[in-house]
Structure formats: structure tokens, C-alpha cells
């Protein structure tokens, strides 16, 4: 799809999310369009049912199908399989980063944290569907840096039962941090504080 169609879409299929993760969804993207979602098995989203923006706020509703053979059920924990709660938080970060790109933000996405996380339930192998409901409370393009930041409050549900509450999850898109020549050693082959 072309870039203007991408920015006008209000939903995305699994195939489109996978194409985005591989960098193949948008044909005529701007040069600094570098954001991706993780590839499986780290991709925690199967479909985006609704994505919209009103001013500097927005909404994302997305789902992931629970699979009996999900990799984490085989190791977390032996004899007591449960999806790690951190993967639900990562799913929220993945979606907020996608929201930034969908809104026209350019650069490479990075999770920046969250203020509060509460787990009141769990995801097990015979559950059916994980649902993410994210209210974007602030979206901002930062002047002079080319960076973009979005902050959202999220509820994660399994089979319509709310199990996680995540407050002020924050994701940014940043220019000039892309490490496209991996695995070669280069100027961006080491981590540390961004901007240093």
C-alpha cells in the first residue's frame, strides 16, 4: 500500500502487520520511515481492529490469538504454563510505536517506560484471545529533533476479562539510531544511553 493509504487506514490484518514488521507494507514511505514491529515470536499482535486519532489523543484496539504451542508456554513455567506479564506490556509498547508511525512519525521506535503496571490475572494455553484497549493520552512531535512520543493507558483482556492495567506507557520514534548493518560492528552496534 502507499504511504497516504497507510496513514488513512483504521484497521490492519495479520498479513499487513507482518509485512510492516518486515518493512514491506508501505511502498513509497519517506526516507526516515524505519519503524518496525518485532517479528514472531516476539510479535504480540495479530490484528488491529481500530486505530484513530483526535487531536493529540487516540485509540487503538487490537488482538492476539493465544496458541497452545506459544514458545513461552514451554519454558514459563515447566508444569505451570503462563504467558509472562511483560509480554503483555510489550504488546502495548508495540502498538503505541505503531500508532506513532501511523500518525506520520519517522525514525526507529523504542519503548521508554511506563508509570504503573498491575496484574490481576493470567494468560494460559487454552485461553482464546488477548485484547488490547489503549487510550492514547498524548501524542507529540518534538520540535527540532524529528522525534515523536506517544503515551497511553491500556487495559489488557483475555477472553473479555480484564487482567492487566498499564498506566502511562511511553514509546518514542528517534532518528539516527537505526542499526541496519547488523551483525557488523559499526557506530551503532553498541547500546547505552541514547544520545551519548
Q: Which of 7, 52, 57, 76 is catalytic?
A: 76
CATH code, domain carrying 68: 3.10.129.10
Q: For residue 19, what pLDDT band results from cuts at 50, 70 and 90?
A: very high
Residue 181: inside a domain: no
Rounded to two decimals, the pTM is 0.96
Q: Is residue 190 part of a domain?
A: no
CA 133 from centre of chain: 12
Q: Quick: pLDDT tens for 70-127.
A: 999 999 999 999 999 999 999 999 999 999 999 999 999 999 999 999 999 999 999 9
In a domain, 134, yes or no: yes
Q: Which domain holds residue 77?
A: 3-174
Number of domains in the chain: 1
Residue 103 falls inside a structural domain: yes
Give yes or no: 178 in active site.
no
* Residue 48 pLDDT exceeds 80: yes
C-alpha distance from residue 65 to each of 20, 38, 97, 123, 157 (Å): 19, 16, 20, 11, 12
Structural domain contains residue 97: yes
Residues in the chain, how many?
196
Residue 10 counted as domain residue: yes
Asked whether residue 183 is assigned to any structural domain, the reply reads no
Residue 194 counted as domain residue = no
Amino acid at each position: 500500500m502507499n504511504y497516504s493509504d497507510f496513514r488513512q487506514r483504521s484497521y490492519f490484518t495479520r498479513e499487513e502487520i507482518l509485512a510492516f514488521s518486515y518493512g514491506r507494507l508501505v511502498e513509497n514511505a519517506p526516507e526516515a520511515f524505519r519503524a518496525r514491529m518485532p517479528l514472531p515470536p516476539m510479535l504480540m499482535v495479530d490484528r488491529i481492529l481500530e486505530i484513530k486519532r483526535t487531536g493529540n489523543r487516540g485509540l487503538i484496539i487490537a488482538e492476539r490469538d493465544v496458541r497452545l504451542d506459544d514458545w513461552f508456554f514451554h519454558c514459563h513455567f515447566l508444569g505451570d504454563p503462563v504467558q509472562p506479564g511483560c509480554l503483555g506490556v510489550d504488546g502495548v509498547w508495540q502498538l503505541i510505536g505503531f500508532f506513532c508511525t501511523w500518525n506520520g512519525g519517522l525514525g526507529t521506535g523504542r519503548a521508554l517506560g511506563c508509570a504503573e503496571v498491575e496484574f490481576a490475572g493470567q494468560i494460559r494455553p487454552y485461553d482464546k484471545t488477548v485484547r488490547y484497549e489503549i487510550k492514547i493520552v498524548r501524542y507529540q512531535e518534538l520540535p527540532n529533533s524529528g522525534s515523536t512520543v506517544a503515551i497511553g493507558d491500556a487495559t489488557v483482556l483475555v477472553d473479555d476479562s480484564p487482567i492487566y492495567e498499564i498506566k502511562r506507557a511511553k514509546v518514542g520514534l528517534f532518528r539516527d539510531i537505526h542499526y541496519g548493518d547488523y551483525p557488523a560492528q559499526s557506530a551503532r552496534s553498541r547500546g547505552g544511553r541514547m544520545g551519548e
